[in-house]
Structure 1
Amino acid sequence: MPSLCPIQVRYTTVMTLLVLMIVVVLGVSMDLAVRYRVRDEAFLNAEKAVLRWSAQVRSDHVPRPIPVSAGVDLVQVVDARGRITSSSPQTGRARLSMLRPEPGDRLRRRTECPPGKRCVLLTVDRVSPSADSPVVYAGAVEPSILATHDLEFIVAAAALIMTVMSGWLTWRITGRSLRPVQQQYRLASTTSHELRNPIAGLRVQLEEALLYPDHVNPRDTIQRALSTTDRLEAIVDDLLLLARLRGGESASHEAIDLGALVAEEAETTSHPVPVRVRVTGDVWVHGSRTQLIRLLSNLMSNARRHAEAGVIVCVTSGDGLAVVSVTDDGVGIDPADRERVFERFVRLEDGRRRDAAGSGLGLAISRDIAHAHRGTLRIEDSPRGARFVLRLPLMEGRQLPS
């Protein structure tokens, strides 16, 4: 049987790599866009400030020191000889830049990075084309988003989270999508394994009858072949019922007196092991009579098969649920096997010893019927033997105190 896990791995890997490529491209684009926007806005603010102070220089109304505005705290006026004639308090005594624009290119942008200090974003304006024109510098220290790599770390973290989340979601979605196919593979494998033995036995019996007609009783061969055919038919019927239950096929539902149904089923089948039924109160459910009869029959047959002296079936209600417990006085079921016995074709050693012709599908069918009725079927602790407990929603309007 081919494994589908590599398919899930491949899908997840491809999708994760694709998402990684996309988020890397988007992350780099966003990083560049943010950096460009912040830098451009800083230069535009500096340009507005430098043009305003250039107008003040031309009219010879420059205060000392120069007051600053929000976002532009570095302003400096330098004459043609390179002397600082006026500045804002934050500039200190050193020139902000040695750049002196040419007369034909008066307005310039400049990034100055002094050693050991953060870079400064400046806009430089030559006040006039004349040779003795002063120059005005305006700007601010480079914002931390541009001076550090914090933005890249944030983008990388977001990209990593998105990639991991997409990989996890892809793994979950593909796993959920492939689960029915995986179940079909397992069903095909286990079914072929279970059918192989009776088919092989049937072939041996028929071939033996053909090869040794004088030594084989045809009547015995036909009887054994019919017995094997009955087992094959039972397996096929159970598989078809499982397929209908797990395929969501609807069955006609009706109001059912669960206590009466349990009592009838306990008396229907003749068996040397007695079944005692205890019903407390009126317990009504809404469901398929045929399916519930099959469920109860499976549980009682299983209990009788493993019981030593008898089986007790209790029907009660409480907390909005109908509760049916089927308890035998046999050797019980090990806690490690309590969930495994509900799997298809699983038969414990004691079950195979007591009934070699069983299909191993009865409990799987019983649990599926319980789920189809929005109920549960599980094995719970018991002082002796095994105790199967079925819980189904009570029919509305008929719930009575237990």
Structure 2
Amino acid sequence: MSNPCHQAVTRLGFIARLIATCLLLLSVVLATPLQAETITIGKGSGIVWEGKPFDVTLSGPMGSDSMRVEFGLASISTIRDRCMKESDLVNIAGYLTYQLAPGVGLIPRATVSASYQRYVSQAKETLSGTIGLPETKASANGWSISNPVDARQWCLPPRMSSEQFFYLPEGERISRGVGSWAIVADGTQTASEIAISPLYYASFSSRASGDRVAQIFSSDITLRVSTLECSVQTTANIDFGAVSYSKTVGAELGKQSYPLVVSCGQASDYISANINLQLRALSGLYNGQKTRLALTQGGGYITGEIENGTTGSGACNLTTGLPFDNSPIKIGSISNKESSKSISDRLTWRLCSGGSSLPVGKVTASAEMMVTFN
């Protein structure tokens, strides 16, 4: 299976039989992680980098009873006093992004939540939703909020239209944003270096004294656009075969190992770069442990290991294997004197029991695998 960097998602399927069927699906995305203060992307298209996690909680009274939709209760913006205008974002490769350079844009993948008090009843209401990827939308006490709202984007007020006497001015307000960033390209980008402006997570008020703002994307990061391009070959459908069911915590139920070959090339403006593997859990981390990918139904997990000492052991009773928290694992490098490079490794996957809660029947788990460079 060959996946060039400009292609979207490839599915890896893991199958086992406990008494029922155990299935793990991994989607593969090629991207480039952030190292230090420089982000490097190549000539691919789609999501070409993802990283820079953030977790921000803002609190304090609104200071005003007025709810105006350009002052989102949860928002991500390039400005510190209100939500971004719809015209500030550009559609690149099918994603609505903040343009960094021609053909290149930045987009958050954020989960947000907020609580506030109403003016008349003083009742507490809550808002929850997402900004950027997969979409910008939320719900607040049964009301649906989508973007654009009054020609604003990445902006989630608690209603779709402004209202007077909405907030209790002195009431408690808490707003939290958790997520990371993605860089999107359409394949037309050219070799260059670009300084990236700061971006903020904010909970705005119609009165400036009520604004709460935190920077979530640094102002001293440089984007490096290169001609580097990579492809990956690995087995897409992995069958653990018939395995025994075990309620023993940390028991290994199945194990399979397959080749992983990453091939990279650069056409001009050669650069030196590390080549990495990243995995991001979609079905969650088992008991919060970054090296254990949780089964969607709970009760068990998957571990990964790259041979030749690239990672520690992926044994079920250890926590030293591949991380599923999007952190990069270096598997090789290419120098500014090399036009191409091929790296060969082996991936070992294990199906593991979580104990007595291991379910009977079909179970699933999912993650995104990213072959990256920086």
So what's the TM-score if we normalise by structure 1? 0.21
> RCO higher in 1 or 2 (8 Å CA, sep ≥ 6)?
2
Bigger helix share: 1
Greater strand content? 2
Question: Based on CA coordinates, which of the two structures has the bigger radius of gyration?
Answer: 1
Instruction: Give TM-score scaled by structure 2 length.
Output: 0.22
